[in-house]
Amino acid sequence: MQAMGEFERINRWFARPAHQQRKRLGEVASLLGIGDDCALLSSSTHLGQTIAVSSDMLVCGRHFHADADPESIGHKALAVNLSDLAAMGAQPLAFTLSMALDSSQDEAWLASFSRGLFSLADSHRCELIGGDTTSGPLCLSLTVIGLVPNELALRRDSAQEGDQVWVSGQLGAAAYALKYPGDCPQAEERLHWPEPRLELGLALRGISRCAMDLSDGLLGDVVHILERSKVGVVLFANQLPLHPALIRCEPLERLSLALQGGDDYELLFTAKPQVRPKLEALADQLGLPLSCIGEITADGQRQLLDENRVPIDMAFRGFDHFC
Ligand code: ADP
Ligand code: MG
């Protein structure tokens, strides 16, 4: 029997019918529940603004090594959460931090961890407002809260046939560093110090309607957009912005690290062809490459093509914690 995957588990045991998600919570109503990078809540005290909420957990031994630099663990724990806010076009507001700590997390460890955490938090004016601390094997769970104007949130269910597919930055560095530790300092940097693309997420408001962040590998992640938007996609392998570290790999391994490896934390988004000049100007303004890598097509199509438009045989699936 095949193991039950991460998303099957969530859908089977935790996704509830829409009427239960949408019930009013005091002055706050839920607009979008399980299935996107953030949940969206509307609040009568934030007129015109939607509240975006997201949680991510990092487990020692699974998401980072026990002997990793605690400063980078602090940075990355918040960065991967802020990346989900960026993916919705939300401005960070505050976060909570729940931790299980054991005796290895001594004073020096905590000083270094909190330095990494707060340096990123301060640079995005995102305030720590609570959490929980217990003893146990090292595990970090953060919840971030942000704001986005009503109607401007970038949602996975909003891609349309004819949209172009874009991705920020470069792909595959973190996967390369995981596979070949110590081989390429720049790739190592991308793995341990990911940069949440918050400025880009904010700038995409009104230009794009649909975005997500890449955490589990592009070919698996994009399927969430396809399923929720009921569309298909054609991707062009020769237009992918591969990280220079991948030059050292064989062509197929190169593609696999860029498309099926995780931890990139770049934004994947769709936009109408007419806004291409705006996106090119935005890339210059942010000093961040933005690459058009494909287009949204009719439901059911999932293709990765080479430079001669010949299909490449690579599965549209990424990292899954259970399969
Ligand atoms: P992301 O990679 O953007 O953090 P995930 O792929 O981890 O998102 O999760 C997919 C969706 O499932 C998200 O909307 C998330 O909030 C939801 N989800 C994950 N685990 C649970 C859970 N235990 N209970 C409820 N919802 C969950
Ligand atoms: Mg995400």
* Helix 251-260, helix 218-229: angle, nearest 10: 50
Q: Do the strands 139-149 and 49-59 form a parallel or antiparallel pair, or are they unpaired? A: antiparallel
Least confident of 13-17, 56-60, 161-165: 13-17
Per-residue pLDDT, 32: 87
Residue nearest (by alpha carbon) to ligand 1 atom 25? 14
Residue nearest (by alpha carbon) to ligand 1 atom 13? 35
CA of 307 to the centre of ligand 1 (A): 35
Residue nearest (by alpha carbon) to ligand 1 atom 11? 35
Distance CA 183, CA 48 (A): 49
User: What backbone torsions phi and psi does residue 20 show, to the nearest 5 degrees?
Assistant: -75, -35
CA of 161 to the centre of ligand 2 (A): 22
Is any ligand 1 atom within 6 A of the Cβ of residue 188? no
pLDDT tens, position by position, 230-247: 999 999 999 999 999 999
Per-residue pLDDT, 24: 56
Is any ligand 1 atom within 6 A of the Cβ of residue 323? no
CA of 155 to the centre of ligand 1 (A): 14
- Which residue in this structure is represented by tokens 């093509």? 305
- Give the CA dihedral 87, 169, 158, 163, nearest 10 degrees: 170
How big is the CA angle at 10 (ends 65 and 38), to the nearest 5 degrees? 75
Distance CA 301, CA 277 (A): 27
Per-residue pLDDT, 319: 78
Tokens (6 digits) for 202: 């904010």
Is any ligand 1 atom within 6 A of the Cβ of residue 10? yes
Distance CA 298, CA 10 (A): 27
* Average model confidence (pLDDT) across the chain: 93
With beta carbons less than 8 A apart as the criterion, state whether 172 and 264 touch: yes
At residue 23 the predicted structure's pLDDT band, cuts being 50, 70 and 90, is: low
CA of 57 to the centre of ligand 1 (A): 10
Q: Beta strands of 18-80 (E only): which ranges? A: 24-25, 28-32, 39-43, 49-59
Q: Does pLDDT of 144 surpass 80? A: yes
Q: Does pLDDT of 29 surpass 90? A: no
pLDDT tens, position by position, 98-132: 999 999 999 999 999 999 999 999 999 999 999 99
Is any ligand 1 atom within 6 A of the Cβ of residue 215? yes
Least confident of 19-28, 104-113, 270-279: 19-28
Is any ligand 1 atom within 6 A of the Cβ of residue 14? yes
CA of 243 to the centre of ligand 2 (A): 21
CA of 162 to the centre of ligand 1 (A): 28
Pocket test for ligand 1, best of 34, 218, 323 (most atoms within 8 A of CB): 34
pLDDT tens, position by position, 207-220: 999 999 999 999 99
At residue 18 the predicted structure's pLDDT band, cuts being 50, 70 and 90, is: low
Nearest atom (ligand 1) to Cα of 54: 16
Per-residue pLDDT, 42: 85
CA of 87 to the centre of ligand 2 (A): 7
With beta carbons less than 8 A apart as the criterion, state whether 82 and 144 touch: yes
CA-wise closest residue to 90 among 211, 196, 210, 202: 202
Tokens (6 digits) for 224: 């969430």
Residue 247 DSSP class = G
Tokens (6 digits) for 33: 């529940």
Distances (CA, A) of 68 to 5, 64, 83, 181, 320: 28, 7, 21, 12, 23
